[in-house]
Amino acid sequence: MAERYRWLHDAISPDLIELHSIKEVIYSGRTKFQAVDVMRTGSYGLCLVLDGKIQSSEADEFVYHDALVHPAMITHPNPETVFIAGGGEGATLREVLVHRTVKKAIMVDIDQEVVEISRRYLPAWHRNSFDDPRTELHFADARKHLQHTKERFDVVVLDLPDPLEGGPAYLLFTQEFYRLVSDRLAPGGVVTVQAGAASWTNYQTFAAVNNTLKAVFPIVRASQVHIPSFTDPWGFACASHQLDPLSLSREEIDGRLAARLSRKPRSYDGESHQAMFVFPRHIRQRLAATRRVISDRKPVYTY
Amino acid sequence: MAERYRWLHDAISPDLIELHSIKEVIYSGRTKFQAVDVMRTGSYGLCLVLDGKIQSSEADEFVYHDALVHPAMITHPNPETVFIAGGGEGATLREVLVHRTVKKAIMVDIDQEVVEISRRYLPAWHRNSFDDPRTELHFADARKHLQHTKERFDVVVLDLPDPLEGGPAYLLFTQEFYRLVSDRLAPGGVVTVQAGAASWTNYQTFAAVNNTLKAVFPIVRASQVHIPSFTDPWGFACASHQLDPLSLSREEIDGRLAARLSRKPRSYDGESHQAMFVFPRHIRQRLAATRRVISDRKPVYTY
Amino acid sequence: MAERYRWLHDAISPDLIELHSIKEVIYSGRTKFQAVDVMRTGSYGLCLVLDGKIQSSEADEFVYHDALVHPAMITHPNPETVFIAGGGEGATLREVLVHRTVKKAIMVDIDQEVVEISRRYLPAWHRNSFDDPRTELHFADARKHLQHTKERFDVVVLDLPDPLEGGPAYLLFTQEFYRLVSDRLAPGGVVTVQAGAASWTNYQTFAAVNNTLKAVFPIVRASQVHIPSFTDPWGFACASHQLDPLSLSREEIDGRLAARLSRKPRSYDGESHQAMFVFPRHIRQRLAATRRVISDRKPVYTY
Amino acid sequence: MAERYRWLHDAISPDLIELHSIKEVIYSGRTKFQAVDVMRTGSYGLCLVLDGKIQSSEADEFVYHDALVHPAMITHPNPETVFIAGGGEGATLREVLVHRTVKKAIMVDIDQEVVEISRRYLPAWHRNSFDDPRTELHFADARKHLQHTKERFDVVVLDLPDPLEGGPAYLLFTQEFYRLVSDRLAPGGVVTVQAGAASWTNYQTFAAVNNTLKAVFPIVRASQVHIPSFTDPWGFACASHQLDPLSLSREEIDGRLAARLSRKPRSYDGESHQAMFVFPRHIRQRLAATRRVISDRKPVYTY
């Protein structure tokens, strides 16, 4: 009993709350943008918690970051320049830098304090990626940064928090923003997006993000993996003007991984790739039925 | 506030509890074997709750029952006789009877009261399957029933509650029981098993069930789907002496479904079949690493 | 575990929630005015729950009803006519009728359904008081009823739910209403009021009710008792133009109880009376500091 | 929402849990004896939490410490030497030292770390009492200390945690220990004890402590106050061979307070004293019915 008296109440919806026992509160504070906790939970170990929601846990962050980064990187024949929007913990950067093809990785996160907290308390996430000579780190609004840059990127990774009303990210999920991203892609470029919950009972943001990407890119592929600490299965999207992640066979993927990566991903390989992009019928119907296109004037908000 | 003051606390583990708001308690009682509640939750609508755990919800029971029943039925070239162990709500029976090849479906559930409660309060689950002329319903221990029967079955469906210490089902997850099932299969027979949570952080029963089946059957295929009301992704296994679910192409599956079923499943088709049987790398490693064989003397217990 | 999976979440404030295990839901519905549950809790046994708050529990309802009814009844030399506003469960009526002096008890409750539910499911509360020949039961707004009645009462008991915004009772806690009550008192009449939580950290309604009564009555005496199922200590007030509850000695009270009541109250006697009307210094200061007078135009609302 | 995602679950009983929102975790650790948290709650502000139970809150610690210390000190005609067992936060010491008659206050607490944590994080509790020249502070088992001391005390204050199975305090609630305390009292000495919850539905420890004291002392007076952060009303006992707290009038108490104390207590005065020692009838019956005498061989344990 004495061991389980502090609990994190993670409200998935008004009718569904997930309670995680808190073993230890390692850091707790508030940045300009959000409440930040680093805590050890009984359910998933060390966790980064933003505004009361588990953002990333040591038990399964690799599943998330593998799924976000590798399918897009592997789809590209030779990704040298990568742009990351968000990604404060440094783990997205870490997975990008595993690709030996990468010459430059620019990461732009609006919340410098989260990066500093992660640097200090979450070494297993970033593993010193911030100090890699290929890394260029900016603290700014990613949209503004992209508007003013002259650079073009082989891969753009949108590792943003869910679009919350009043939050810093909701204008990074719109058609206008995706057009800007499209303009900043080098020829043959690929964009990969964390796209929210992908559950039968909680799929609206995921479906809308995929549909909005389709308004800008001719090739858009939805994918999903299960990340226990997120409760719901989690959705991603991979978009491009030329390249299709589904065109690669298991063997080609495994070959590219072996040739290009400095270490094996824990959760991703050719078979995982295949598993990610196939959906059961009822989810496919949800996705196909969606007409919603997110725009700056009609943004989407997650609960 | 007034709407959300009663909550179901579903303890996934000592460190993780899921809270569902209760809109309405429709039935609440205790059978010889378990506590039974039929309640309308805010999260997943009408639910059957056994011993405080959501057993089945109107929002997603079709995902579970499709995944349990159809892959095995479709793998078999002509399933005429089916044995169901458990399956109290009648929805497994419902999906079996959708196959027009079926001439006889024997269902054996130990808890008559659960069947009666389901018959009365869960019509959307059974849809009068209990009254189908092909149905034969027994209230008994499935293991004892199989020991004494002379019948042989094309498909055996093990739709049992998780093996809980002191519960009625833990001896229906053992090598000895699977041998008995194997003996009762007709030539070319297939068995399908609900095998517990299949999550990265909660996979022990699932892995052990698959491994135990391998001690009896030469062909064993693990699969999983996401059922929101179960929190974790859910695992199944399909085992046989002759037939392999993976040998069928998407097109063959869709063809058999069109030819044999009296209505389309909501969540299952050829592509869903493919999605179910592919696992990401880290889960494959969990399954491959398991050595545990469950036996009557060393049963497995779920939390 | 199986025994404690349904919980009542009783929100005392946004920062404080009390959870009661639910053993059995006996009735659950919604009247024209409120959500009503009759449930057996593990903490306090059978409870009447209105809009998610425990209104009355079998474990301690006698403490509440004794404290509300007897001090006023005993203060009056010969209470023959009693008016009860609210009191749906019938227990206030029950305690009034224990006084053999009573010739007529008029109870006016706005929510007929709550009275019917109580009659059916809470026999230990009303003990057939509704059928006592001295009882006259009306389903109406108590304020309207008092406006139109020609009757005068020796004792008026205001057994109303807390004044909630949008609820049926907030206009029964105002100066205007207390003036109306004052007009309907017979000479030497006494009014007794349930006045909300009387805790150091939750006393605003209690203090305001007492202060508002002082704007109408020359004699106002605050009292409190501890009712476990209400979490906070609970406050009452006794007001009159002529009679002072503090003028009676322990012995006089015990003498009147012995002479007039058909059975002994479980929690009330001369010593209890003394305990109720004495407050520690810090609470006295809270009460003395309050200037708030509740009026129809500036009503008070409890969380 | 973002403000209320961490909650303290304070289990009052298996069927009753109180949830306090956590605004800030200031300190969190584990001493040799217990888990210690200093946290700011939304319900009661800054709190010391031992083994998951609120031990003391800034909102109402004065109510507790006034009730524990002053009645005994005031009952004594001239308390010069005081022994405190427990009292780690330093607030009991603080209230003792307010009495200008005191020449020496010995405090013996087993948990040095709790005292150090309190010294650092709870300055409003101790207000530098540990540095008062009259203070003598020991870190030891209070029972052992008393066994070996030659000193005699005018007042002994037992400010111990509830007797938990396996905890450090359960042998400080027994008849044998109270005999030892009795031996260490100077002539006319008084002992005061925190005696656990004093609620109608949770009174067993309180009743047993009072009854056990009666086996040693001819004069034993139970008292109670309401401390919101403890949920239940809280019980105390005052015992002596010669002096009776009930023999003092309100005026005598107020006179002694004015003459002896260096500042007025916030919650205690002559009227508060009177309120503390009077119980309603149903609680009196609980206390009178108790036969339990706690002994080293048959200790009492609180949930």
pLDDT tens, position by position, D243-270: 999 999 999 999 999 999 999 999 999 9
| Residue with the two structure tokens 């508060």 | D272
Q: What is the bridge-based pairing of β-strands B16-30 and A219-226?
A: unpaired
pLDDT surpassing 70 at residue B2: no
Least confident of C26-30, D136-140, D149-153: C26-30
Least confident of A91-105, A124-138, A250-264, D3-17: D3-17
pLDDT of residue C182: 98
For residue C27, which residues of chain B lie inside 8 Å, CB to CB? none
pLDDT of residue D167: 79
Per the CB < 8 Å rule, is C18 touching D14?
A: no
Among the residues of chain B, which ranges form H helices? Answer: 61-75, 91-97, 112-121, 123-126, 142-148, 175-184, 204-214, 250-260, 270-276, 281-289
Over residues A66-83, mean pLDDT: 98
Q: How far is C145 from chain B (nearest CA, A)?
A: 28
Over residues A284-291, mean pLDDT: 94
Q: How far apart are CA B107 and CA B131, in angstroms?
A: 12
pLDDT of residue A1: 42
pLDDT of residue B302: 84
Among the residues of chain A, which ranges form H helices? Answer: 61-75, 91-97, 112-121, 123-126, 142-148, 175-184, 204-214, 250-260, 270-276, 281-289
Q: Which tens digits make up the pLDDT trace of C86-131? A: 999 999 999 999 999 999 999 999 999 999 999 999 999 999 999 9
pLDDT of residue A279: 96
Over residues D195-206, mean pLDDT: 95
Per the CB < 8 Å rule, is C43 touching D16?
A: yes
The residues, ordered by sequence, that sit 6+ positions from A90 with a Cβ below 8 Å of its Cβ are A115, A118, A119, A122, A125, A126, A127, A129, A130
For residue A53, which residues of chain D lie inside 8 Å, CB to CB? 5
Tell whether the torsion through CA atoms of A49, A52, A53 and A59 is positive or negative: positive
Q: Residue D47, exposed/middle/buried by CB under 10 A (0-12, 13-18, 19+)?
A: buried
CB A248 within 8 Å of CB A75: yes
pLDDT of residue D302: 84
Q: Which of A227, A191, A226 is nearest to A209 (CA)?
A: A191
The residues, ordered by sequence, that sit 6+ positions from A160 with a Cβ below 8 Å of its Cβ are A85, A86, A142, A169, A172, A173, A194
Per the CB < 8 Å rule, is B271 touching A278?
A: yes
Cα–Cα distance list, B54 to B47, B48, B91, B110 (Å): 6, 6, 15, 19
Q: Which tens digits make up the pLDDT trace of B145-198? A: 999 999 999 999 999 998 888 778 889 999 999 999 999 999 999 999 999 999
Q: Which tens digits make up the pLDDT trace of A251-278? A: 999 999 999 999 999 999 999 999 999 9
Check whether domain D7-57 has CATH 2.30.140.10, yes or no = yes
Where are the domains positioned within chain A?
A: 7-57, 61-289
Q: Please state, rounded to an integer, the average pLDDT across all residues of chain D.
A: 96
Equal CATH topology for C7-57 and C61-289: no
Q: Which tens digits make up the pLDDT trace of B80-121? A: 999 999 999 999 999 999 999 999 999 999 999 999 999 999
pLDDT surpassing 80 at residue D150: yes
Over residues B35-42, mean pLDDT: 96
pLDDT surpassing 90 at residue C9: yes
Over residues B192-211, mean pLDDT: 96
Give the DSSP letter string of B109-129: ES-HHHHHHHHHH-HHHHTTG
CB C162 within 8 Å of CB C196: yes
Q: For residue C246, what pLDDT band results from cuts at 50, 70 and 90?
A: very high
Cα–Cα distance list, C12 to B1, C230, C236 (Å): 11, 9, 19
pLDDT surpassing 90 at residue D172: yes
pTM: 0.93
Q: How far apart are CA C181 and CA C188, in angstroms?
A: 13
**Which of C109, C154, C159, C162 does the annotation list as catalytic?**
C159
As given in the structure block, the two tokens for residue A42 are 């009984």
pLDDT of residue B166: 78
Over residues C68-85, mean pLDDT: 98
Say whether C59 sits in a helix, a strand or coil: coil
| Residue with the two structure tokens 């202060």 | C211
Q: For residue C1, what pLDDT band results from cuts at 50, 70 and 90?
A: very low
pLDDT of residue C165: 82
The residues, ordered by sequence, that sit 6+ positions from B141 with a Cβ below 8 Å of its Cβ are B108, B110, B168
For residue B35, which residues of chain C lie inside 8 Å, CB to CB? 2-3, 5
Q: How far is C293 from chain D (nearest CA, A)?
A: 26
Per the CB < 8 Å rule, is B9 touching C10?
A: no
Q: Which tens digits make up the pLDDT trace of C54-64? A: 999 999 999 99
> C interface mutation test: which of D5, D9, D43, D279 has the most C CBs within 10 A?
D43
B159 in active site:
yes
pLDDT surpassing 60 at residue B137: yes
Least confident of A197-201, C164-168, D24-28: C164-168
pLDDT of residue B1: 42
User: How many CB atoms within 10 Å of residue B189?
Assistant: 24
Interface of B with C (CB under 8 A): 1-11, 22, 24-25, 28, 34-35, 37, 49, 51-53
pLDDT of residue A165: 82
Report the half-sphere exposure of C236 (CA within 13 A, side-chain side): 28
The residues, ordered by sequence, that sit 6+ positions from D163 with a Cβ below 8 Å of its Cβ are D169, D170, D172, D173, D205, D299, D300, D301, D302
Running DSSP on this structure, what letter comes out for residue B276?
A: H
Q: What is the bridge-based pairing of β-strands C233-240 and C185-197?
A: antiparallel
Q: Please state, rounded to an integer, the average pLDDT across all residues of chain C.
A: 96
Residues recorded for chain B: 303
Gap between the terminal Cα atoms of chain C: 32
pLDDT surpassing 70 at residue C53: yes
Superfamily of chain region C61-289: Vaccinia Virus protein VP39 (3.40.50.150)
CB B22 within 8 Å of CB B6: yes
% of residues, chain C, pLDDT over 70: 99
Largest CA distance in chain D: 59
**Which of B159, B162, B232, B269 does the annotation list as catalytic?**
B159
> A interface mutation test: which of B15, B46, B232, B253 has the most A CBs within 10 A?
B15
Per the CB < 8 Å rule, is B284 touching A278?
A: no
Q: Which tens digits make up the pLDDT trace of A212-244? A: 999 999 999 999 999 999 999 999 999 999 999
As given in the structure block, the two tokens for residue C259 are 């002479």
Among the residues of C122-267, which ranges form H helices? Answer: 123-126, 142-148, 175-184, 204-214, 250-260
Q: For residue D1, what pLDDT band results from cuts at 50, 70 and 90?
A: very low
Q: For residue A164, what pLDDT band results from cuts at 50, 70 and 90?
A: confident
